[in-house]
Structure 1
């Protein structure tokens, strides 16, 4: 693809710069289609898909489709993927529900970018099996347990960030179901239950408020929008954001990370704060390597990059943020999610609960 046809953000990233980042991801892709964290690193299903999305946004369609074909080919009979694979060898056979659900976001994104109905229909059974697996681990109150172990057992804890991401995945899955004309009403019910748990029952989730992902993911995943979303972000802004460097990964560590910064930028864009999102994207460019790849993070207390890895998924987050802010591809609004299904809403009055998120109260 020519540089002029890829996302760019004037004053921050030129088309050529973004294309270099996309090519750095493609250069890491293995012959199987798998996209590891870095050369010789492991593959996990979520970051693999995130990287494939960047390839699609950057115009490397064949490479993106090779990545999705790897997902199709390696899916297990129960609809899941192993948490961690290195050069084709399974290192962790457990299944993370958020990791598995994210294929729906990737497939919907690629369909939006390319308009390729044949691809969508080929990948539909993969998405359907993955979502059915994930919803098999939904708890009675609506949250989704984070993982199953390699022996088929369930790890009965739910994560706020993971479930917020699954919320977005379910919306994309329902959109894809409509596209292929295979309605999934049970998914609509499950999405409504999950959204209710996320908005009204924060006690259902393990307390990880130290981590920035637990702070902004309810916004990024579409659980909170409008003023409720902005309130959520403003409430802990000073805990996590350093104006000239980006966003901390953990609120009590002097460590900013590129992917979290770009995801926060996507969250801001989703609630109408594009100018602040641009500022964050600009702030994290100190992590850029001359070849277009991105270092994972910086320990700003001593000026050292850590870990000493340029990760594909960090570069992918940059590309997706650039696309959202520039509106370059037809999938640039996938995280704004304005037209995605919302599921079957649950009446909070009948539940007898009250929303804490509406006032931005949870931290």
Structure 2
């Protein structure tokens, strides 16, 4: 039912906005497409990736609508989704989407600083920890794709290694943010091991409710909760992963979609939106708990 709801929001050209007539960006589009794939809706997922290929800018990036920004992490994530789709549905898809992935990685590396960190987007000097962690995973997935196709991209390996080094050894180069993503993304994206979750578990995990989006607000969100569950499941902690999904089940709508979040001080659903990327993350977490091979392979790239 959840995948059917995502497919119902998907546009005829393959794009998956956040919700009907809502914003659109490549990262959240890919997250929703991966949710379609683990639910067996491979045709719809393929259409989503073909939309990426057709809408890619000449420099390898994608615009984030409606603001027309070029974001490094949003662009990089295509490699994660394409590898996932190939593993779960059609290995020949790698060759078909290779020019798209190759161009995307070249754009991402054009934003790399001398210290190895990657700038958030064009026109900005900021580097974001969660985004750079996600780019690390994408570089590993892109390298995996290149290897499977018999192509050599040593610069991607070097960039991923350098990115991991700066995240681990120089965290001060990243703009401080209160978001839980900065806590669990280095683990989800194979930058550090699962022991990295211990220090802030009580800061971000609200018992029986889920994961806070930010540490200083009484707001749990379905996407962050599902991503933490995915992180745990891929690394073998299925009991806590199952508990997190059970905690957030109250966000599920009767049509299979999920509300974005819940403000628990005021006891209200907020914002009043149900998002495709939240639904996609929920499906991915459930798939990881069920040992779906493609999901485990993609989110175990260079696991430490």
Confirm or deny: 8 A CA contact 2:204 2:215 kept in the other structure. yes
Task: Give yes or no for the alignment of 1:330 onto 2:293.
Answer: yes
Cα distance in 1, alignment partners of residues 222 and 111 from structure 2: 31
Confirm or deny: 8 A CA contact 1:211 1:251 kept in the other structure. yes
Q: Which residue of 1 aligns with 2:236?
A: 272
Q: Secondary structure at the match of 1:147?
A: coil
Task: Give yes or no for the alignment of 1:107 onto 2:82.
Answer: yes
Task: Give yes or no for the alignment of 1:52 onto 2:33.
Answer: yes
Cα distance in 2, alignment partners of residues 36 and 324 from structure 1: 24
Cα distance in 2, alignment partners of residues 212 and 334 from structure 1: 24
Confirm or deny: 8 A CA contact 1:54 1:320 kept in the other structure. yes
Task: Give yes or no for the alignment of 1:261 onto 2:225.
Answer: yes
Q: Which residue of 1 aligns with 2:173?
A: 204
TM-superposition CA deviations, 1:209-253 (whole Å, max 9, x none): x1111111110111012xxx32x2111111111120100101111
Cα distance in 1, alignment partners of residues 298 and 155 from structure 2: 23
Cα distance in 2, alignment partners of residues 341 and 300 from structure 1: 37
Task: Give yes or no for the alignment of 1:288 onto 2:252.
Answer: yes
Task: Give yes or no for the alignment of 1:96 onto 2:76.
Answer: no
Point out 4+ residue stretches in structure 1 off by more than 6 angstroms.
none
Cα distance in 1, alignment partners of residues 298 and 144 from structure 2: 14
Cα distance in 1, alignment partners of residues 51 and 235 from structure 2: 34
Q: Secondary structure at the match of 1:59?
A: coil
Cα distance in 2, alignment partners of residues 261 and 138 from structure 1: 30
Task: Give yes or no for the alignment of 1:174 onto 2:143.
Answer: yes
Confirm or deny: 8 A CA contact 2:80 2:298 kept in the other structure. no
Q: Which has the larger radius of gyration?
A: 1
Unaligned 5+ residue runs, structure 2? none
2:124 to 131, 134, 155: 155
Cα distance in 1, alignment partners of residues 302 and 93 from structure 2: 21
Query: Post-superposition shift, 1:175?
Result: 0.4
Unaligned 5+ residue runs, structure 1? 1-19, 85-90, 149-153, 343-357, 359-363
Larger fraction in helix: 2
TM-superposition CA deviations, 1:39-82 (whole Å, max 9, x none): 01011110001111111111111111111111000001000000
Structure-to-structure mapping, 1:204-353, within 5 angstroms: 204-208=173-177, 210-225=178-193, 229-230=194-195, 232-327=196-291, 329-334=292-297, 336-337=299-300, 340=301
Confirm or deny: 8 A CA contact 2:139 2:156 kept in the other structure. yes
TM-superposition CA deviations, 1:63-108 (whole Å, max 9, x none): 1111111100000100000011xxxxxx222201000000000000
Compute the RMSD of aligned alpha carbons: 1.3
Query: Post-superposition shift, 1:203?
Result: 0.9
Change (3 A) 1:100 1:336: closer
Cα distance in 2, alignment partners of residues 83 and 249 from structure 1: 21
Cα distance in 2, alignment partners of residues 331 and 221 from structure 1: 15
Q: Secondary structure at the match of 1:247?
A: strand
Q: Which residue of 1 aligns with 2:22?
A: 41
Cα distance in 2, alignment partners of residues 316 and 67 from structure 1: 13
Structure-to-structure mapping, 1:61-76, within 5 angstroms: 61-76=42-57
Residues paired across the two proteins, number: 304
Confirm or deny: 8 A CA contact 1:222 1:335 kept in the other structure. no
Cα distance in 2, alignment partners of residues 176 and 193 from structure 1: 20
Cα distance in 1, alignment partners of residues 113 and 211 from structure 2: 32
Cα distance in 2, alignment partners of residues 67 and 30 from structure 1: 9
Confirm or deny: 8 A CA contact 1:270 1:335 kept in the other structure. no
TM-superposition CA deviations, 1:142-182 (whole Å, max 9, x none): 1100001xxxxx31110000000001101100000011111
Query: Post-superposition shift, 1:118?
Result: 2.5
